[in-house]
Amino acid sequence: MSEKTDIGRELDGVLQKPKRQLAMVFDLNKCLGCHTCSISCKRQWTREEGMDNMWWAVVNTMPGKGTPKNWEGMGGGWDEKGEPRPSKIPTRDEFGDAWKFNKEEVFHGGKGKTVYLKPVNTKGEDPDWGPNWDEDEGGGEYPNSHFFYLPRICNHCTHPACLEACPRGAIYKRDEDGVVLINDKQCKGFRFCMEACPYKRIYYNHVRDVTQKCIFCFPRVEKGVAPACARQCPGRLRFVGYLDDENGPIHKLVHKFKVALPLHQEYGTQPNVYYVPPLSPPAVDMHGKVDPSKPRIPTEYLEGLFGPRVKDVLAVLEAEKEKKAKGLPSELMDTLIVYKWPENIFPDFVQDPANL
């Protein structure tokens, strides 16, 4: 039996509603841009043949071109009528190729004082793009230059365009937690999923001829361990939990306080990764005079990423922050601060992996 999605798109009955939905909230006011999340994911999941250029968890500097390069202009997802948006498959060069370094020459060739580490891509050429290539460049002009960090993984969408695009039926949403996975025994590397995903968070493994992506660390989750990117995050900005758990931080930030927003909601896939937008200092003029009416990061830019509610969310955050500074109670600030780790940030996944 067919049904309609929240944006009116007819489904063919293949898509199942999970019993529960796992989700993440990233508080962008805490992100250090240290890439510990990326490294922990890389070490755990993408070390096999053909995965050398894969970064399932990336941290992009915004404003910036992102990973893959200019992904926001590649299309995918659904339009306002529920029809697929035209799209393209990002190339390996646009994701950023895996680099090799002349380590042998520098460390073992006796030239350590005269040569230096130099990267080349798989073509033996100087690289001209990579994950977060434009790190810390940002936007704006002096004295109001600005940037912030935007961690990104697969959004494990409620209505994943990748799932509907797969002619092999290799992509599915798990019934128990809504995690979107690719069955690599069924996948034949057609890459329609890469074309359909508007967030371009799916990679192609040219050795195995399959597509691969973030799996929400489901083998860890099943044992009560938080995903590697969340557990290793030194900024403690990655909240993990179920959307329907009214006592959990995810439900509170998304539904109770309504301060966590999806990235590019207009893509129509209903992502289950949410962001607390970044606050910023006020703008200043060339003489250093502060203009409290203008934030350093233009609100219009944030609205382009997180939608029209950004201004309201920032106002709530400022008001609650001021209450806390005056010694008044604020459940929202207490939730964002995370006094007890890991209990307050992913209460269902506090198991220490070292004890398994």
pLDDT, residue 336, reads 98
> How does strand 202-205 pair with strand 210-213?
antiparallel
pTM for this structure? 0.94
Question: What is the number of other CB atoms lying within 10 angstroms of the CB of residue 301?
Answer: 16
pLDDT, residue 260, reads 98
Is 77 in contact with 185 (CB distance < 8 Å)?
Answer: no
The amino acid that residue 317 corresponds to is L
What ranges make up the beta strands (E) of 64-221? 100-101, 119-120, 148-152, 171-173, 180-182, 202-205, 210-213
pLDDT, residue 1, reads 43
Tokens of 289: 């005079």
pLDDT, residue 109, reads 80
Tokens of 141: 């002009």
Torsion of CA 124, 127, 129, 130, to 10 degrees: 80
* Binned average pLDDT, 10 residues per bin, the chain of 356 residues: 55 70 98 97 96 97 98 96 95 93 88 88 92 94 96 97 96 96 96 98 97 98 98 97 97 98 97 98 94 95 98 98 97 98 97 94
Cis peptide upstream of residue 277 (ω within 30 degrees of 0): no
